[in-house]
Amino acid sequence: MSKRITLAHGNGGLLMRELVEECFARKLANTHLNTDLDAAQLNLAGNQWAMTTDGFTVQPLFFPGGNIGSLAIHGTANDLAVSGARARYLSLNAFIEEGLPFSELDNIISAMASAANEAKISIVTGDTKVVPRGHGGGIYFATTGIGEKLPEFQLHPNRLQAGDKVIISGPIGNHGIAVMMAREDFGLHSEIQSDSANVWPLVAALRQLKNPNAVKLLRDPTRGGLNMVVHDWSHFSKLGIELCEHSLPIQPEVNTVCNILGYDPLSLACEGRIVAAVESSIAEDLIARWRNQPLGQEAAVIGELTNAHQQVVINTTIGGQRLLSPLEDEPLPRIC
């Protein structure tokens, strides 16, 4: 690990994994702390709950398809959703920079309230701090969420096996490109919107599968994008993963901007997508159920776990193969 913290330590890639495992997890280890999952699994008074916490520092505060307020609700609820839990209660800490216009704060909190109402989540406690001008990006949020675990799902990396299918619920790269286009002046015009959304309806749809327990693992591909999800799964399972390039759902506009500016859509954050690892026997059923949902209409099987190697490989559209390297540098700071 390098001797000083860099922005790359917060991008969801290799350096962040090292930071979490070697600093935080090693020194704070206890029976409930599991950095392989998006939320802690708790047994409280005989009932199963999940608990997660997150921070939001996106810049700019407003971007096509959302703002930092709606993003904070979606991000927290989604971490619980992919842990098999429906978000019920949230705490909210707001760190407001001196000078933020009240009109912007009002718009942000209104969007937050709308997202929470839509997802039927109650914000039940919180705290507010104001920091001096120049010591923040307008406003930061820290949230903690508690969700009710569903008994149908036993989601854990140790259940991954060779032959499991990798499925994604929709196009990748939209959130990262939407925020970047709102932040920078590249002289480009785009209609790309962030995918920020509550993914709970997609998880709820999985309860109707003939065998919900055949869903092995779910993740929302936020920092590090799809790239780090599949590398994490390969790392945890000691299995390889082969992705099929022509099956990856990427909107042409996103692909064009990535090609022009040199970004890899696989490494860009999504805020309204799910990646699933499932037994092959339910893949077709799952795709059909997700495509019946507004957020899942472009769901696709994009790959498979294999015991032939322990790498992440992309089968290209021209019939070749290339290794997908895990994210190391910081492609787009402060996008979530």
pLDDT tops 60 at residue 1: no
Nearest Cα residue to 203 out of 280, 269, 299: 299
Q: Is the model's pLDDT at 14 over the cut of 90?
A: no
Considering only CA atoms, which of 81, 86, 213, 80 is closest in space to residue 152? 213
Nearest to 71 by CA among 49, 88, 93, 54: 54
What is the pTM (predicted TM-score) of this model? 0.92
Q: What percent of the chain has pLDDT over 90?
A: 77
pLDDT at 331: 66
Mean pLDDT of 213-231: 96
Task: Say whether pLDDT at 305 is over 60.
Answer: yes
281: CB partners within 8 A, 6+ apart: 211, 214
* Tokens read off for 159: 């259940």
Residue 177 has pLDDT above 90, yes or no: yes
Calculate mean pLDDT across residues 190-217.
96
pLDDT at 118: 97
Residue 190 pLDDT exceeds 90 = no
Reported as a single tens digit per residue, the pLDDT across 257-301 is: 999 988 999 999 999 999 999 999 999 999 999 999 999 999 999
Tokens linked to 83: 């842990």
pLDDT of 304 reads: 98
- Residue 63's pLDDT band, with cuts at 50, 70 and 90, is very high
